[in-house]
Amino acid sequence: MEQIQLYTKLNYLPTDLKSEVNDFIDFLINKRKIEIKKKIPIFGCAKGQIYLSHDFDEPLVDFKEYM
């Protein structure tokens, strides 16, 4: 939705409804801030979830002719 459309619709509202829209916008902004804060990972939270093969550092067979 374009900003102009929102502004036009907002202008048609009575003053008391404009106040409610303003409060709802503030609510949405605060809700978004809380969601963003929750997504910050804690150091070590993936411990035990990532595994490497025992031969991870070994040369690949496909590149044997280049070595």
Measured CA to CA, the distance from residue 40 to residue 1 in angstroms comes to 30
pLDDT at 20: 93
What pLDDT does residue 35 have? 67
Domains of the chain, by residue range, sit at 3-66
- List Cβ neighbours of 10 (8 Å cut-off, separation of 6 or more): 18, 21
| Single pTM value for the model | 0.47
Mean pLDDT split into 10-residue runs, the chain, 67 residues: 85 91 91 73 86 84 79
